[in-house]
Amino acid sequence: MDSQPTETVDEQQTDSDDLQTNEAIEQTDSEATEEQLEADDASKISTKEPEFAELSESPPSKQIGSINRFLDVSVQVAAELGKVTLPIGELLKIGEGSVIELNRSISEPIDLVAQGVKIASGDVVVIDDCFAIRIKEVESESGS
């Protein structure tokens, strides 16, 4: 009779676990070596600071002719009666007949806004059953 040692299932599982652990260690060592090689390669790259010509201050140019090509560009203009900040929960409750109080009194002028920028303010008027704005003040370029 052959008397070969037989492995039990537990011993086979232990051998399999050991093999997986060794493979994981080898993979980690390999990744660490690759990272070190990449770091070494990065340290070999030469860099230098860019050189720029000195800028001299010059007054801004006012070339009115260059703006002419934009005169036919359309922008959205809106009349802003007022604003209010609401929590989303309140906003979701809004329905037909809801009343939202704005931050502007009825005696204050409304804002004329183009692309989100206030350009003027004025009073609400009605022309041929349509709302309109009679401009009272145009904003300066500095936005005051």
Give the model's pLDDT for residue 50: 81
Q: What global pTM score does this model have? A: 0.48
Work out the percent of the chain whose per-residue pLDDT is above 90. Answer: 42
In whole angstroms, give the CA distance from residue 58 to residue 63. Answer: 14
- pLDDT tens track for 15-66: 666 666 666 666 666 666 666 666 666 667 777 888 878 887 777 666 656 7
Q: What is the distance in angstroms between the CA of the first residue and the CA of the last residue of the chain?
A: 107
Give the model's pLDDT for residue 123: 94
CATH topology for 74-138?
Answer: Surface presentation of antigens (SPOA) (2.30.330)
CB neighbours of 84 closer than 8 A, spacing ≥ 6?
Answer: 100, 101, 102, 103
- pLDDT tens track for 98-120: 999 999 998 999 999 998 899 99
In whole angstroms, give the CA distance from residue 40 to residue 25. Answer: 22
